A and B are shown apart, each in its own frame.
Chain A
Amino acid sequence: MDDADWDTSPADAATATDTYARHAHTQWERLTTTYADAGYREGITPGKLTTLQRGFDEAYAASVVPSRRLGQLRGRVAALVAFLQSRQQQGDTTNGAGDADALLLQRAKEAKRLLARVRPETVLPVDEEALAHAAAEHPADGVVVDKDEWRGEEGVRERREMADVVQKLEDLGGQEKTTNEEREQQLLDSWERTVSLLEREAGL
């Protein structure tokens, strides 16, 4: 204890007590925060490991169909382009259909190019729960912009664009609002119709 304590006035003593209490409170907060933070850091990884596999299984199972469909469409249109190119090189056209074949080839190439640009995020299911969680964690960011935590800006932008396109189609058709899953389905269905049409026009 300080030598000055014995002649301190009651008012000064009260002030000193308040200061001491505040200091003690600060120290206490710091101490508890230190321990709690250390525990938090230690706990987050074991927590992740308990659900990582379940998340993987869920998403894997849900992604098989759209991934496979997109691959099939790409494969079909790539084969169609090869077939049309072959037919054109061989001059193997009937009834003077050379111009029509050239046009068809051009359309098939365009379809191939566009299909190649379809990103996985566009057709795979959206993890709404993760988006909501990220939005809650980073409210200032609006949606999700943390590239390490989620898909990143590019994927979000792509998805927004796709949603806009599908929304415009819905508006034109007067259809009811659709979920993301239905939109992905619609996109693939739309591509399916396009590729099938090209194949029919090629004589298949």
Chain B
Amino acid sequence: MDVDMDNVDLFDPVDSLNDLESTYYEKGYQEGFDHGKLHGLFEGRELGQEKCFDWWEELGFIEGQAMFWKRLSDAQGDGRIDSKKITSTTDIPPTPITPPTEMDESADTAVGEGDLAGLMTRIRAKYRLVCSLVGVKPRLAVKNTVEGDVMADNNAAVDSSSGIEGVSMLPSSNADRNQDAGPQIDSRLLQF
């Protein structure tokens, strides 16, 4: 059917009534969208802080311990430190592996996140090794991370000492030390 466009009133007020729903919907949508952008930013920041603290506080803790034992090893000339235990830790630099610090927007994941859990597993394994060498109980954050399946069977002795408040002390005898630290190390994870 042919329509005579010349006779069509493009400004028919009824049209605006027909669009009433979409007009106000779109207006509300835009307001919600703009407000959501603000809250997305705030929530993203909060999440970023939380996640960052989880990773980097733990890494910092391990790094701090490595720094301490390294300095202790350097100062061992006074004879008060068992050099056999400490020297083995000095090949571990303060930051064994540098994990990503930013997220990759295009990938919706952390940069190298695929490797991050693996890196953390190796760092923790290395840390456990150092702890066993110096004879202290390791402090591990108990989290649902990838190493759970690998180390779960060995974690029983560690769980009780998780967190900063965990007991950290040198066992009084070699037997105790071997019982505490020996079974926790899986050398396959170290990948030196």
Contact = CB atoms under 8 A, between A and B. Distances in A.
Interface of A: 31-32, 35-64, 67-83, 85-87, 89, 92, 94, 112-113, 115-116, 120, 124-125, 127, 129-130, 133, 149-151, 199, 203-204
B72 A204 contact: yes
26 contacts: A36-B27, A39-B25, A42-B28, A47-B33, A51-B41, A53-B103, A53-B105, A56-B44, A57-B103, A59-B46, A60-B52, A68-B59, A68-B63, A72-B61, A73-B60, A73-B64, A74-B61, A75-B60, A75-B67, A75-B68, A79-B136, A129-B42, A130-B42, A149-B39, A151-B46, A204-B68
Interface stretch (B112-120, B168-176, B182-190): B168-176
A150 B49 CA distance: 12
B40 A55 contact: yes
Contacts, number: 258
A66 B103 CA distance: 18
Contacts of A74: 57, 60-61, 64, 164
A170 to B, nearest CB: 25
Contacts of B44: 51-59
A81 B41 CA distance: 41
B149 interface: no
B49 A59 contact: yes
Contacts of B20: 31-32, 35
A32 B22 CA distance: 10
A168 to B, nearest CB: 26
Interface of B: 20-21, 23-53, 55-69, 71-72, 75, 78, 80, 101-103, 105, 108, 134-136, 139, 163-165, 168-170, 172
Given A71-B57, A127-B46, A76 B65 contact: yes
A124 B42 CA distance: 14
Contacts of A75: 60-68
Nearest to B95: A68
Contact of B61 (A42, A58, A78, A85): A78
Q: Give the 10 A-B residue pairs with the shortest CB-CB distance, closest first.
A: A71-B60, A55-B44, A47-B36, A75-B64, A39-B28, A43-B32, A59-B48, A48-B40, A36-B28, A40-B32
A51 B48 CA distance: 12
Given A44-B36, A75-B67, A78-B139, A38 B28 contact: yes
Given A42-B32, A75-B66, A120-B57, 19 more contacts: A35-B25, A39-B24, A40-B28, A42-B28, A43-B30, A57-B48, A61-B101, A64-B52, A68-B57, A71-B63, A74-B164, A76-B65, A82-B170, A83-B68, A89-B170, A125-B49, A130-B42, A203-B80, A204-B71
A79 B48 contact: no
Given A120-B49, A204-B75, A64 B43 contact: no
Contacts of B30: 39, 43
A115 B46 CA distance: 22
B56 A68 contact: yes
Nearest to A60: B48
Contact of A44 (B25, B32, B47, B66): B32
Contacts of B102: 57, 60-61
Contact of B45 (A71, A120, A130): A130
Nearest to A134: B42
